Amino acid sequence: MKPIRLATVAAAAVLALLPATAHADTAYPDPRPITGQQIIHDPTVARLQSGGYVAYSTGGVLGARVSKDMRQWDDAGNAFAAPPGWWYQYNDTGDPWAPDLSFRDGRYWLYYAVSSWGTNHSAIGVATSPTGLPGTWTDHGKVFTSGKSDPYNAIDPAVIHAEGRLWMTFGSYWTGIRMVELDPGTGKAKPGAEVHHLATRPDAPYAVEGPYIVRHGRYYYLFASYDACCAGVNSTYKIRVGRSTSVTGPYTDSTGKPLLEGGGDLLLAGHGRYVGTGGESVFRDRGQDWLAYHYYDAQDNGTPKLGLNRLSWKSGWPELR
């Protein structure tokens, strides 16, 4: 999620009443130390085929960071030199949100969302690149859209190849997390594709968004951000997870509670200076899984910064180091 998508002041009040995490601060590891350009929001990170790392994020025309060692990060401009014209159908500034970077069929694929504050008049687009580096992207237009009559919001995309097919999760508020099948040739939603429902909260404003699915062993794991982002040190973002033997669900937490009924194991929440942890994605680097996310630095006026933690697996569930 980018700017908070709360349609009314009343919705914001509901968020303030949501229960806080029951975990002690000591339950959560700090992100690994990094240097250089740390400011980021909704990061997607990948190790490039050519070596080194790239991260894209909300801000600018999809802001870019590059690194040789995943510790020193440098500003690398933006994915695009200028917004494609069709973005202005969804906001006045051509402002994209929450990118998702992947490599498939010899190309890098960059999915992203365009929308406006507090509305589900939204669209997910896609671009491709031979290198994955900023300035090399070719936009291919809309992948999937939502309108005011839809019960979902077409933002926060994340793509996974599973069960011989290509899928995209998405969603923010508006009854939560959804999934559609994509055409692997075009990278866009198949015409008439079923919209699967994966996770939600029991009460409005259904504060769950930013999904990301990873396969480990026989399970698919759905990570999502719960509660409110984008309020600096007042943010209450946290990351929860559930799993399923099928990519389309149903997803349940470790107690067996369905994510469609508000379930989800708490993986990471704010602690110490690291406030409002969320906007997450997962990437793999030489056999090691990593969780990338943003947090708001309470020791730096709530500035959003890049968090990276090793992601390991214990008794069939993810844990952070």
Catalytic residues: 42, 209
Give residue 111's Cα distance to chain centre: 11
DSSP 215: E
Residues in the chain: 321
In angstroms, rounded to a whole number, what is the distance separating the alpha carbons of residues 171 and 139?
Answer: 22
> Nearest to residue 195, comparing CAs of 262, 120, 99?
120
In angstroms, rounded to a whole number, what is the distance separating the alpha carbons of residues 265 and 253?
Answer: 6
| Phi, psi at 16, each rounded to 5° | -65, -25
Q: Which residues pair with 113 in a beta bridge?
A: 97, 124
Give the sheet arrangement for strand 122-129, strand by strand: 96-104, 107-114, 122-129, 138-146
Residue with tokens 């959560």: 28
114 contact partners, CB below 8 Å, separation of at least 6: 87, 89, 90, 91, 94, 95, 96, 97, 122, 123, 125
Q: What's the first-to-final CA gap in the chain, in angstroms?
A: 25
CA-angle at 98, arms to 71 and 176, nearest 5°: 125
How many helices (DSSP H) and strands (DSSP E) are in the chain?
A: 1, 21
Tell me if residue 222 falls in helix, strand or coil. strand
Cα-only R_g, the chain: 18
Tell me if residue 9 falls in helix, strand or coil. helix
In angstroms, rounded to a whole number, what is the distance separating the alpha carbons of residues 127 and 289?
Answer: 25
